[in-house]
A and B are shown apart, each in its own frame.
Chain A
Amino acid sequence: MTPLAAIFAEAWSEIRVHKLRVMLSLLGVFLAVLGMTSIAAAGDIGRQLVTESAERSGGRPATVTVQAFPLTAAPDADVISSALRDVVERYDIRWSSLVLDQEIVANFPAFTERVQVRSVDPEYGPMHRVLLADGRWFTPADSDRYAPALVVSASFLARLGGFDPNSPPTVRLGGTTPVTATVIGVLEEEDFGAPFAYLLNESAQTWISGEAGFGQAPMLEMWVPPSQVEEVSAAVTGDLRATLPGHEVFAERLDQGAELADLDGVLNYGVRGVGYFALLLGGVGVLNVGLVVVGQRIREIGVRRSFGATSTRVFLTIMLESVCATAVAGALAVGCAIAIVLNLPYEQILSVPIEDLPPFPLKAAVEGFLAATAVGALAGIIPAVIAVRAKVIDAIRY
């Protein structure tokens, strides 16, 4: 223990004495690790942004849609809905929703307009990471309300005034048999001026199924483990074909998980490659300075030999100087990277909401620190060998 502590003490003392030289030689390593670690961490956050954005439209990995429609006659929405719900129950699929896009007349205070309405189950919100600016998403209890509940977009709400959860706005839906619906939540996502609303399937069925355009067959969305996509798809489509003879039944993966994984790989290896190359250049800088300095320290090494320094000790000390210095530079760079990455206003910069800001990736921090330390060891070997090979007599007389 004591010899090891002595070696570290000696190496640290050398770094302290030559701090300006050490700092200049380490600038390259510091910047390389800072860049490498920051980009890796920012890459994680970028990936999360892309993933969340993709999941809002296509669902989480893996989201599978199942559609069934008759080959000849008009679809019977009740029969198809019932068959879809049966397979969900049969295979005990925890996360699923029937989805149906329709247009319906909305009677706003100032005017009447046809708006886009999507009928969904409460599970649709978590499956698609639906973000709300105000109010709340549906719960199963909303099916029992005496009037349909709506989650609307910003421009839909703008036509009603504002949102007050204590006195939520209402709107009359439907032309032939209108019903008053209550707005319970407001979407955060931009709707680009086109009013849009979510409605529960059961509410749609109860209150507005008689409206023109309603009565079409919904599709089924299932959130299943990515490894089970093929198996679940085959089982569900097989069952539905048996239940719904004369229907075309097909299933397809809706989310972009596979494409994102490819993008992730390119980003990961690309960023790492650039980082390691920069680190290599930093290491060459450390080696260069190390070689110059060891030449200037030959007399000192000779004096230390007279104190009883063995070849191993001289080698370890010179190498540890390099390792300690690059390790400190690596740790500082990782610290700076953490401070930078965690304090960047991503939502303002990218104008995209982020729900789950990922923590600073521990792997990137550890990798940056270890890479810096390894570069220090590699860059320290050659000066250390030169120091060991210096002849003591010549070194003292130098």
Chain B
Amino acid sequence: MTFIRLAGLGRAVRLPDRSRLDILTDINLEIERGEHIAVVGRSGSGKSTLLNLIGLLDSPTAGTYELDGRPTANFSVRARARLRGATFGFVFQQFNLLPRRSATENVAAPLLYSSGRQVWRRRNAAREMLERVGLGQRLDYLPERLSGGEQQRVAIARSMVRGPQVLLADEPTGALDIDTGNSVMDMLQEMVAQSGTTLVTITHDLSVAARADRHFRLEHGVLSRLERAELPSVTARRSVV
């Protein structure tokens, strides 16, 4: 069943000289529940904008976006925020961990925007999640004391702690070396597979994209299908767009 449907989606901005810049044009994409898709593209091709639109952080200027069969254009700002927290998990290239908060506090943070039992149990849930990503010995470590790979694992634990239906990963291995990046991706894929979470990965690394079920290329704001033959094998080291 289609969970995310983008039809003719576009995003344009008005520049200071009043001219119009089209970042995304006529994006058509359907994503099934539990599916793993990857979007590759060079810097500035509009990858992050596409991720922000899917994650309800931004609104399209053209086309329609249906989430689980409901057009998102009808949602109020407040409803979008609530839906975003309940539906999506985000993994950022630069981890974006909250400074001066321990790993546990970082992972527990999204649960403050949840409700009922999840709020009161947030620290226990955070500890359990950190143990799942192999950081049971780093519960009280501040981000500054963690390696890049560990920080990204904390970020993944944080993105998964509310049990999102969709995980949006923006260059999840972009700040990591090849081996660490591979191990982080292995872990990420294992977690989403276990929970049946939909994974949308945006990357410029073809070997990371190759791990997905379906692949797309974003070039000058236009999305096109990428055949598996165009990608390196999953075991290949690193191949950049």
Verify that A and B bind, or say they do not.
yes
B1-9, B94-102, B183-191, B195-203: which lies at the A interface? B94-102
Whether B90 pairs with A306 at a CB distance below 8 angstroms is yes
Contact B113 A313 (CB under 8 A): yes
If A305-B57, A312-B78 touch, does A396 touch B96 (CB 8 Å cutoff)?
A: yes
Q: When chains A and B are docked, how far (Å) is the Cα of A9 from the Cα of B122?
A: 11
Alpha-carbon distance A35/B116, docked complex (angstroms):
43
A interface footprint on B121-160 (CB within 8 Å = 1, 0 otherwise): 0000000000000000000000000000000000000000
Closest B residue, CB atoms, query A311: B77
Segment 301-334 of A: residues with Cβ below 8 Å from B: 302-313
A2 touches B82 (CB 8 A): no
Q: Is B109 an interface residue (CB 8 A)?
A: yes
Find chain B residues with CB under 8 A from A110 CB: none
Give complex CA distance A310, B84 in Å: 10
B residues less than 8 Å from A312 (CB atoms): 78
Separation of A393 and B170 alpha carbons in the complex (Å): 13
State the CA gap A18–B99 with chains docked (Å). Answer: 10
A3 within 8 A of B: yes
- In the complex, the answer to whether B119 meets A5 with C-beta atoms within 8 Å is yes
C-alpha gap A91/B90 in the complex (Å): 87
* Bound Cα distance A306, B112 (Å): 12
Given the known A-B contacts A300-B99, A312-B78, are A6 and B58 also in contact in the complex, defined by CB atoms under 8 Å? no
A308–B81 CB distance below 8 A:
yes
Chain B neighbourhood of A393, CB < 8 A? 52, 57-58
B99 (CB) vs chain A CBs: closest residue: A300
Q: Which chain A residue has the least Cβ–Cβ distance from B155?
A: A303
Total CB contacts across the A-B interface at under 8 A: 70
- Is B105 an interface residue when CB atoms closer than 8 A count as contact? yes
Is B181 at the interface (CB under 8 A from chain A)?
Answer: no
Q: Which residue of B lies closest to A7 (CB)?
A: B112
Q: Which of B83, B84, B88 is packed against the most chain A CB atoms within 10 Å?
A: B84
Q: A17-B100, A300-B98 are in contact. Are A309 and B115 (CB under 8 A)?
A: no
How far is A13 from B86 in the complex, measured between Cα atoms in Å? 22
Residues of A within 8 A of B85 (CB): 307-309
B57 near A303: Cβ-Cβ < 8 Å? no
Query: Please, how many angstroms separate the alpha-carbon atoms of A305 and B120 in the complex?
Result: 20
- CB-CB nearest in chain A for B87: A308
Cβ contacts under 8 Å, B119 to chain A: 2, 5-6, 9
Q: How many residues of A contact B (CB 8 A)?
A: 27
> Contact between B98 and A303 (Cβ–Cβ < 8 Å)?
yes
Interface size, chain B (Cβ < 8 Å):
30
Query: With A and B bound together, what is the CA distance between A250 and B99 in angstroms?
Result: 81
Q: In the complex, how many angstroms separate the beta carbon of A123 from the nearest chain B beta carbon?
A: 66
> Could you tell me if B98 and A310 are in contact, using CB atoms closer than 8 angstroms?
no
Query: Is B60's beta carbon under 8 Å from chain A?
Result: no
Q: Are A392 and B86 in contact (CB under 8 A)?
A: no
A10: interface (CB < 8 Å): yes
Q: Which residues of B contact A310 (CB under 8 A)?
A: 77-78, 81-82
Q: A5-B119, A303-B98 are in contact. Are A308 and B78 (CB under 8 A)?
A: no
Closest to A5 in B: B119
> How many Å lie between the Cα of A300 and that of B58 in the bound state?
17
CB distance from A3 to the nearest CB of B (A): 7
Give which listed residue, B55, B116, B120, contacts A306 with CB less than 8 A.
B55
Per-position contact with B for A235-250: 1 when CB-CB < 8 Å, else 0? 0000000000000000
B78 touching A299, Cβ below 8 Å:
no
Q: Is B216 an interface residue (CB 8 A)?
A: no
Which residue in A9, A304, A311 is a CB contact (below 8 Å) of B78?
A311
Question: Inside 8 A of B65's CB, which chain A residues have their CB?
Answer: none
List chain B residues, Cβ under 8 A from A3.
115
A306–B84 touching, CB < 8 Å: yes
Contacts of B99 on A, CB cut-off 8 Å? 300
Whether B172 is near chain A, meaning CB under 8 Å from some CB there, is: no
Q: Is the CB of B101 within 8 A of A17?
A: yes
Query: Which residue on A lies nearest to B115, using beta carbons?
Result: A2
Q: How far is the CA of A382 from the CA of B149 in the complex (A)?
A: 38
Contact B110 A308 (CB under 8 A): yes
Taking a contact as CB atoms under 8 Å apart, the answer to whether B57 and A306 are in contact is yes
The smallest C-beta distance from B185 to any residue of chain A, in angstroms, reads 21
Min CB gap A358→B, angstroms: 45
Contacting residues, chain A, for B81 (C-beta < 8 A):
305, 308-311, 313
A300–B48 CA distance with the chains assembled, in angstroms: 18
Q: Is there an interface contact between B92 and A396, defined as CB atoms closer than 8 Å? A: yes
**Residues of the A chain whose Cβ atoms lie less than 8 Å from the Cβ of B86:** 308
Residues of A within 8 A of B100 (CB): 17-18
A10 to B84, CA, bound (A): 19
Give the complex CA separation of A219 and B101 in angstroms: 79
Q: Count chain A CB atoms within 10 A of each CB in B57, B105, B112 and give the residue with the most.
A: B112
Interface positions of B from 199 to 227, Cβ below 8 Å from A: none
A interface residues (Cβ-Cβ under 8 A, vs B): 2-3, 5-6, 9-10, 13, 17-18, 299-300, 302-313, 392-393, 396-397
Pairs A–B under 8 Å by Cβ, sample size 10: A2-B115, A2-B120, A9-B112, A17-B100, A18-B100, A299-B96, A306-B55, A307-B109, A308-B83, A310-B78
List the 3 shortest-distance A-B pairs measured between CB atoms, nearest first: A308-B85, A307-B110, A310-B81
Q: A6-B112, A313-B81, A393-B58 are in contact. List 6 more A-B contacts (CB 8 A).
A: A2-B120, A5-B119, A9-B112, A309-B85, A312-B78, A393-B52
